[in-house]
A and B are shown apart, each in its own frame.
Chain A
Amino acid sequence: MPIIVNLDVMMARRKMSLTELSERVGITMANLSILKTGKAKAVRLETLEAICRVLNCQPGDILEFVEE
């Protein structure tokens, strides 16, 4: 998929673990793992909003379009 999820990069910048992000965003570890590994087929706007709020970033910092 040409959409790359840079969640792990942002988490590293903010020095935040997956467990902590999961607790603060309010989604399960399993769903967060799906998002992080790029297996997700869709992201709800409310999920994206919660992640951006916790990581203090823009959606574009997490999602990136790369031509295949």
Chain B
Amino acid sequence: MNIKSKLAGIIINVSSFVIITGYGYTLYPSGIHNWMYSYKETDSLNLPVSQYEALNDSILTMRNLKNGYGFDHDNGQFAYLGTQTSIACDTCSYTWFKNNTQTYNQNYIKLNAWGIKKELPYKFYVKNKQGYVRKAVPVKNSDSKFNIVDVPVKFRYNTMDDAILIPVSADGASLFDTGWLILWGLNMIGLLFLLYLFIRFSYDTSKGRLFTRKNVTRLKLIAVSVTVYPLSIILLNLLVRFVFRQYFSPEVVLKDMVWYNAYIVLLIGIVLSLLYGAYNRAQLLQEEQDLTV
């Protein structure tokens, strides 16, 4: 190992120690965990970019390992649900991982629809196998002052994806994956059927057979499916929240993204429903016209 590597290693280790233990940081009152404040504090260190990036990466990696989502591997996602396998290790370092093959796998059910309220940029950490969420609590008799407190929580949190993780056993994850696969398969069959309906609808329309009973039925099925789909996704995630309610705390919220995506699809569904109404009326008029002698 050359001197540069040694130096970089020392800097990384010392910086990690400083940041993780909180030495040199007295930003918050005692009793509040301030030791995980921000790796961006390393801005003050005058380092070349490459070393600075390496430093940030290594600290992030160590923090991810401690928080239980180190080197995470997603096993797919549908309806904001999926599983994740990660390495959870409270005592491992980045260097240790570079030199060892032993892993500490931890399986999670990943709830991508659920995230933590956006109150502070760094808001979750694990210490002594206990998860904490940072929270701003208003000071009594004051509208503008807040106390920053860390609240213990049962769930884990993927900071990168802003997703709640429910720790489960390997069997639990496997069972969830099976159910998830069935749900995904049914969804794919449904989507393919809708695609088939749409192709037939488009073909008939291109051939001038616009206002036929078949076309109206197809449009009705498409409109109902598109309208019901986003609602069923939200309902499914609410059901998941109910199932895992013991892991949830008031800090966990349904992400804005879920509502936004649902609104868009719902809007398309409403437009299609209106179109169905028009087609239904047009089909009756067409039938009347066809049977007028």
Chain A residues at the B interface, C-beta cutoff of 8 Å: 27, 31-32, 34-35, 39-44, 47
Q: How far is the CB of A34 from chain B (nearest CB, A)?
A: 6
Most A Cβ at <10 Å: residue of B287, B288, B292 = B292
**Interface contact A43-B291, CB-CB below 8 Å:** no
We find that the number of chain B residues with CB closer than 8 angstroms to chain A is 5
Which of A31, A34, A42, A43 is the one whose CB lies under 8 Å from B288? A42
**B293 interface contact, C-beta 8 A:** yes
Chain B residues at the A interface, C-beta cutoff of 8 Å: 287-288, 291-293
Residues of A close to B287: CB separation below 8 A: 41
A31, B293: Cα distance in complex, Å: 6
* Known contacts A42-B293, A43-B292, A44-B293, then 4 further A-B pairs from the complex at CB < 8 Å, ordered by chain A residue: A39-B291, A40-B291, A40-B292, A44-B292
Smallest Cβ-Cβ distance to B292: which chain A residue: A42
A-B contact pairs, 23 of them (CB 8 A): A27-B293, A31-B293, A32-B293, A34-B291, A34-B293, A35-B293, A39-B291, A40-B291, A40-B292, A40-B293, A41-B287, A41-B288, A41-B291, A41-B292, A42-B288, A42-B291, A42-B292, A42-B293, A43-B292, A43-B293, A44-B292, A44-B293, A47-B293
Most A Cβ at <10 Å: residue of B287, B292, B293 = B293
Q: How far is the CB of A48 from chain B (nearest CB, A)?
A: 9
Q: Which 5 A-B pairs have the closest CB atoms?
A: A41-B291, A42-B292, A35-B293, A31-B293, A40-B293
Residues of B close to A40: CB separation below 8 A: 291-293
Smallest Cβ-Cβ distance to A39: which chain B residue: B291
Q: How far is the CB of B101 from chain A (nearest CB, A)?
A: 80
A40, B291: Cα distance in complex, Å: 5
Smallest Cβ-Cβ distance to B291: which chain A residue: A41
Smallest Cβ-Cβ distance to A51: which chain B residue: B293
Residues of B close to A39: CB separation below 8 A: 291
Smallest Cβ-Cβ distance to A5: which chain B residue: B293
Q: How far is the CB of B271 from chain A (nearest CB, A)?
A: 31
Residues of B close to A43: CB separation below 8 A: 292-293
A37, B255: Cα distance in complex, Å: 62
